Structure 1
């Protein structure tokens, strides 16, 4: 697609966004919705439409070359991501579930499940490529110094017993002898055939030719039938034409043009950065003196006008209030003096109020409560992104929508735009210097003309300065103030607390969409989420906030996530995928990994301080806690008492509280047996608990197909994937990988041409593995029902929440009266 096409795509996305903004920001506030189902449908529609806009904007930002356009698109893209996260948070609070099913919404909007996939912006990694390469280089150098290799297989090797070694040698020797014996037997058979051969007769030749003809004709007919069958399947649309499997020339050309666009983006961005510096210096040299001169004249004129109208010189606004920027507002000197006087009155009125004022306030609050009771219902929560989106949308409509760019064919930066932006910045820089000079000048004027008032103003200024100095907040003690970041990283790598993430993407976590979720919920049946739903939830809760600083600061803050599910469902893979998608560092604070390291209270404090300090300095960061239930054991097993798994139970939640909006640090725990933990303390630690089930039938079909192909196997008609997916009910993706690796070996892949893979080959190794039984899954479901969100979901399903709501209001009133 050309740059013109991407500009049109951007215009379409902005049009859809402006329609959404008019719906979300109406002239009159909408009435509260009493029906929860109707309200959720409205939220779901908004959510799906915002995702469509997000997909378009992400594509535009990735391919547009114009550097100034890219900055506008980036601001809108971050705002849309934030709004999607807000809507997700609101849907969770209204439906009391982490998973939502929108089959009916997709049907109404004529969309496919793929359109609901959360796109992960490519700029998360592309714009931090140099930083990530440097970090990777630093970690690899540390690993070389420490002597830790990337593959931990040789470290995991155990000492072999003498009996086992003898058995292995015996097996190898018997196999060697068997091969030699078979070779000798074959040679002897060939020798016997040579002596037995006689000249064939005419009858033998004829029968041989007939036999060859039969075999050849059968082979050719089978080949023709196979070709006809494949053509019929292609015609019916049930198989892909082989010519489409190989990328066509147009696709190759499109890929090369995309690669060339990336180079153009970098070149144009470099030119833009250079012109920013040159234009700024030029404006500062040419217009700087005139700007400062006009500012001084305006401020002096303001001094004189205030003196004429009020009879005294005004107090110069403080830097914190905006300095002389307040003076240049469209207000008279009298109005400014009144505002300053009103501020002083407000400061003086900050005293304990009288009984009458309290009574009046109480009446007003009661009136407000009554209004709230009258307007009971569900309302949209206030958004932190809508105002920014509205402002950016206005910039697009006012400036970029109808801009004529016929002369800017190469899509390079525009100097006039840079001048407009930089002129404001230079004015702010000059204003700071001018304010300092004018404060001194004003003080001199006051001393010369108003000597009596000058002393008072100075005294007042001292008082104000004294009043500002309040209690200072206690700063955290930096236990490693004298150490460099490299030394801290080296120590954490040595201790095995800082690790390199595996090269895994979130798309590699395969699963099918849940097509019957809405239907089941309408029939009061709670569906189990699919692996596709798990992938979407994690991209919303972990990947998008960690990838963008702006989104992380303004979106609903999520500090800790718990992934609970049976072994083999891909919890560890998801953590590595989160790190790889966002370029985050991986810290391992698992109970088994920290056992015996940094002993004592001081050692524990030092370990947590180092981990969180490096995580903040090298953000984004993910802190992984494997077997998170061990930290909150109800009763520690005897075999684990020496490891002290509950060591971090008290200190880790304290460190979690110190994480703020600007810190892109996420704690992710994984648990296979959450039932053994104290549920209250576990839920206090992890604000989001995501239950990962065993894969459903659709996900198993996809997994078998793609995992076999990934291992090098061919999926033909001889391999019945439907039957294989049916009999593998209860088995996890980990079990499937284990079975495929044992069957689809290098030797077996070479035999596929003559003997294709069949489903029966995978049955025997599957039977040797214990599946995840339904009792285990039901136990996990029952455990999840005891979590705060699970309890709310049960209350909402039984209708108790609606009954409890008015009672809560009455109790609140009684408490207020008391």
Structure 2
């Protein structure tokens, strides 16, 4: 697409954002009080922000104008943060991590695919060189330590040559035996046919009847082909089957990708030109306009000296550098206006002192009455009224929107066809910078000049003003903040720590897995089921969306991580094979994060003792902070919180990190882009209280539903080289595999679609029965196991709140929930629990 197209897309996104901000401000003045209406309002805002986010991400990725991209990036990060804030509001309102917007999508006439949150490409594009260097270093360390192919060497078994030859001979003899058996079977059937022909006698062929029979078979075959072709065309016309043009390789898609890559090259070139222009334009302004700016500032300050002397009789006091110098006085004002302001301030100060004394007496009397009344009103309002929590990102969105309106919306860019930088805008910015730099130099000169004037004219020395001592806030807060973390490795470099962690197997190389490879379908009946008080099982698409919101977006953007609702820990719970580890690797792949494996089996026997454990944790956190973003993965995390450690695992000490994890979480700050992710397939074996204290967000991953299995079967077969034909009934496979996980389906497909079977598809099409035989050997996830996960989740804090909300809990319990929320500032209980 052209530059004009992306400019138009940006304009449309900004207009949609402007109207959405107006809608938010209107709702903030008079917020609704019915819970259903509140959720509909929040969900509508959420869906609209997602659409704006999708458009802005596409524009930022392909826009080549460097100055426009700076503004788009600011708005993009703010919209990301606002989406997370709205998600947090919905979670606190409904006490559920999963929300369903099928009715809102229908009202807004949007497809389910448009609800998917895209992962900004700049997460990886801006640090691609750093990631490549890090991969080289990691590969070199693994190669030197002999650990690069350890996972491949372990399952291999060395076999003697004689035993290998025997196995080959046995398989070859078996193959020849099968061929001989089929050949003998053919001879046997041929003998039977000859015997029957001799018994019945040879019939005299009738040429006419033979011709009629051939014609009959040919016409039926020809008509069958025509009917099948017409049926296929009808299905393509109705949209039930994909067009063969879409299935085949499309050259237009390839050309579009080439254009995108060319735009990336233009982006880099324009960015380099822009950086060079920032330096060159500033140096030119300093040479050409610097002396004039210096002279005008000196004249302005001298004029101020003279006017103050004429008006007040004395020379004024010059502001210090800490106060801002002359910039504090001459903020877009003339010297006469400055003098008038000084006189007005003196008069106002005298009047304020008199007014304060009179007002104090009246206020003290009224304060007591007002405080009592306010307390009563607040209690009533907190119980009855719901208010949206204040946003940290809406002001940034409004600021970006105002910049767009004031600068870019009505600008004439007919001269800037290639969309390079605008030098006039750079000059305006650099003039301000240059003026502030020169002002510092001028202030030093004018302070000395003012001293000389006072000595020469008034014959008095300037008495230095006493600076107000600023109280050290840190001293008063020492008790609250606690002790700082001690550096146990002050003499060691980052490279040495990194190398040691890699060699010990604590820092591992993440698998390159995209989040889009986690296949799942949208839940189309979620809202309908919730209206009739039935809690639907979340779909895999909902799980993928939560991983994007809680894991990828905060780790990818520093501003989002610092201001958005902070998620430090994340727990993925579900049966074996649902893709928990895959999601951990996907988070690292999409954000370029380092992956630290702190599973109990991985740290067993490493860094023994309390001091060793402290050193290990300190090294991991130090490297994770310095090379952020980072993910700390704790696999089989239920072992860390065992109720009772099994006898055969006591030597491994699985509960080593139980006391360390809360300490690690306390030391994690908003500016530290570190996420602790735990995975578990047996969460009911752990003590639920300490587990829920450590993990802030708990996502239960279910087995795939029918729609997800249908999409999964189709895509996995095609990725493995299989061809979807009429003989392969995908719907039948999806029905039969109810209860089987994604991992089991992928395992079966890889086992069936070998290289030999893929080559045989031309002569022998794939059928569903081939996969069913392999599936019969696997154990599915039964309903009893699924129910145990549901009952366990109902015991978690959020699960309990959701159960109370569905069952209609007592008002006392709801009141307790409100009280806790007031402290946090974002409360779900301000009338939200009422339906």
Task: Give TM-score scaled by structure 1 length.
Answer: 0.88
Q: Which residue of 1 aligns with 2:490?
A: 481
Residues 707 and 359 of structure 1: CA distance in aligned 2, closer, same or farther (over 3 Å)? farther
Q: Report if the CA contact (8 A) 1:132-1:583 is conserved.
A: yes
Indicate conservation of the 8 Å contact 2:597/2:634, yes or no: yes
1:327 counterpart = 2:326: no
Deviation by residue 1:182-225 (Cα, 9 ceiling, x = unmatched):
678899999999xxxx9xxxx99989998999998887666555
Instruction: State the shift of 1:795 in Å.
Output: 2.1
2:671 aligns with one of 640, 662, 679: 662
Residues 440 and 632 of structure 1: CA distance in aligned 2, closer, same or farther (over 3 Å): farther
Residue 17 of structure 1 corresponds to which residue in structure 2?
17
Shift of 1:477: 2.8
> 3-state DSSP class of the match of 2:572?
strand
**Structure 2 residue corresponding to 1:727, chosen from 736, 739, 749:** 736
Change (3 A) 1:508 1:217: same
State the alpha-carbon separation in 2 of the partners of residues 337 and 467 from structure 1.
34
**Larger deviation: 393-402 or 212-221?**
212-221
Which residues of 2 match residues 126-275 of structure 1 at below 5 A? 126-149=125-148, 152-157=151-156, 171-180=167-176, 223-275=225-277
Mapped to 2, the partners of 1:406 and 1:644 lie a distance apart of: 70
Are 2:652 and 1:650 equivalent residues in the alignment? no
Question: Structure 2: 5+ residue runs without aligned partners?
Answer: 195-201, 353-359, 823-835
Tell whether the 8 Å contact from 1:276 to 1:418 is kept in structure 2 after alignment.
yes
1:318-371 CA-partner distances (Å, limit 9, x unpaired): 55544433222357457569979999xx9xxxxxxx999998766544443333
Please tell me whether the aligned partners of residues 66 and 412 of structure 1 are also in contact (alpha carbons under 8 angstroms).
Answer: yes
1:705 aligns with 2:707: no
Task: Give the 3 Å change call, closer, same or farther, for CA 426–660 of structure 1 in structure 2.
Answer: farther
- Are the counterparts in 2 of residues 608 and 652 from structure 1 also a CA contact under 8 Å? no
Q: Which shifted more, 500-509 or 295-304?
A: 295-304
Q: Does 1:413 align with 2:421?
A: yes
> What is the correspondence of 1:254-333 to structure 2 with a 5 Å cutoff?
254-302=256-304, 316-329=318-331, 332-333=338-339
Q: SS of the counterpart of 1:407?
A: coil
Aligned to 2:38: 39
Q: CA deviation at 1:717?
A: 1.5
Cα drift, residue 431 of structure 1: 3.4
Once the two structures are TM-superposed, the CA of residue 313 in structure 1 deviates from its matched residue by 5.8
Shift of 1:443: 6.1
- Choose which of 372, 380, 386 in structure 2 pairs with 1:378: 386
Mapped to 2, the partners of 1:335 and 1:505 lie a distance apart of 62
Structure 1 partner of 2:100? 101
1:181 is displaced (CA, Å) by 5.2
Q: 1:410 to 1:583 in 2, by over 3 A?
A: same
Aligned: 1:427 with 2:435? yes
Moved more, 378-387 or 429-438: 429-438
Q: Quote the Cα distance in structure 2 between the aligned partners of 1:439 and 1:801.
A: 71
Q: Which structure 2 residues correspond to residues 334-349 of structure 1 after superposition, within 5 A?
A: 335=341
Aligned length: 796
The residue aligned with 1:48 is: 47
User: Is residue 67 of structure 2 the alignment partner of residue 71 of structure 1?
Assistant: no
- Using the TM superposition, give the Cα deviation of residue 642 of structure 1 relative to its aligned residue in structure 2, in angstroms: 0.9
Deviations 1:681-718 (A, max 9, x none): 11221111111111111111111111111111112111
Contact 2:451 2:461 in 1 (8 A): no
| Whole-angstrom distance in 1 between the partners of 2:686 and 2:163 | 44
Gaps of 5+ in 1: 347-353, 814-818
3-state secondary structure, aligned to 2:29: coil
Indicate the SS of the match to 1:513. coil
1:768-812 Cα offsets, whole Å, 9 max, x none, are 211111111111111111212112212222332655455788999
Residues 220/36 of structure 1: CA separation in 2 closer, same or farther (3 Å cut):
same
1:114-129 aligned within 5 A: 114-129=113-128
Structure 1 residues 185, 629: closer, same or farther in 2, change over 3 A? closer
Please state how far the C-alpha of 1:392 moved relative to its aligned partner: 1.1
- Contact 1:520–1:526 (CA under 8 A) maintained in structure 2: yes
Asked if the contact 2:326–2:439 (Cα under 8 Å) also holds between the matched residues in 1, the reply is yes
* Contact preservation (8 Å) 1:569, 1:732: yes
Shift of 1:140: 1.8
Aligned to 1:464, which of 458, 461, 469?
Answer: 469
Post-superposition offset of 1:286? 2.1
- Supply the distance in 1 between the matched residues of 2:52 and 2:744 (Cα, whole angstroms): 38
Contact 1:505 1:577 in 2 (8 A): yes
Instruction: State the secondary structure of the residue aligned to 1:622.
Output: strand
Q: Residue 573 of structure 1 corresponds to which residue in structure 2? A: 582
- 3-state SS, counterpart of residue 82 of structure 1: helix
Q: Is the 8 A contact 1:589 1:623 kept in 2?
A: yes
1:492 to 491, 501, 507: 501
CA distance in 2, matches of 1:416, 1:708: 57
CA distance in 1, matches of 2:526, 2:748: 30
**Matching of residue 772 in structure 1 with residue 781 in structure 2:** yes
8 Å CA contact 2:28–2:387 kept in 1: the answer is: no
Distance 1:613 1:806, change over 3 A: closer
Cα 1:370/1:723, change in 2 over 3 Å:
same
Deviation at 1:662, TM superposition (A): 1.6
Range with bigger deviation, 431-440 or 491-500: 431-440
Q: Secondary structure of 2:117's match? A: coil
Partner of 1:553, secondary structure, is helix
Give the 3-state SS of the residue equivalent to 1:525 in structure 2: coil
Match of 1:391 among 395, 399, 402: 399
Deviation at 1:483, TM superposition (A): 2.4
Q: Any idea what SS the aligned residue of 2:596 has?
A: strand
Kindly tell me: are residues 188 and 213 of structure 1, through their superposed partners in 2, closer, same or farther at Cα, counting changes over 3 Å? farther
Distance 2:412 2:640 in 1: 63
Distance, in Å, in 1 between the alignment partners of 2:725 and 2:247 is 15
Do the aligned partners of residues 629 and 133 (structure 1) sit closer, same or farther apart at CA in structure 2, a change above 3 Å counting?
same
Q: Indicate if the aligned counterparts of 2:572 and 2:580 stay in contact, CA closer than 8 A.
A: yes
Find the partner of 2:791 among 761, 778, 782.
Answer: 782
After TM superposition, the structure 1 = structure 2 runs for residues 349-748 of structure 1, keeping only pairs within 5 Å, are 363-375=369-381, 376-438=384-446, 454-455=462-463, 457-458=464-465, 460-461=466-467, 464=469, 475-748=484-757
Residue 523 of structure 2: SS of its match in structure 1? Answer: coil
Relative to 1, partners in 2 of residues 1:189 and 1:793: Cα closer, same or farther, differing over 3 Å? Answer: closer
2:5 maps to what in 1?
Answer: 5
> CA 1:290/1:476 → structure 2, altered by over 3 Å: closer, same or farther?
farther
Counterpart CA distance in 2 for 1:564 and 1:342 is 65
Task: Give the direction of change, closer, same or farther, for the CA distance of 1:249–1:807 in structure 2 (3 Å limit).
Answer: closer
Q: In the TM superposition, what is the alpha-carbon distance from 1:515 to its structure 2 partner?
A: 0.6
Give how far 1:66 is off.
1.4
Change in Cα spacing, 1:236 to 1:812, as seen in structure 2 (3 Å) is closer
Q: Report which stretch shifted further, 8-17 or 244-253.
A: 244-253
1:588-630, CA deviations, whole angstroms, 9 ceiling, x for partnerless residues?
Answer: 1111111111122222222122211211111111111111121
**Aligned-pair CA distance for 1:416:** 0.1
C-alpha separation in 2, matches of 1:357 and 1:538: 53
**11-20 or 778-787, larger mean C-alpha shift:** 778-787
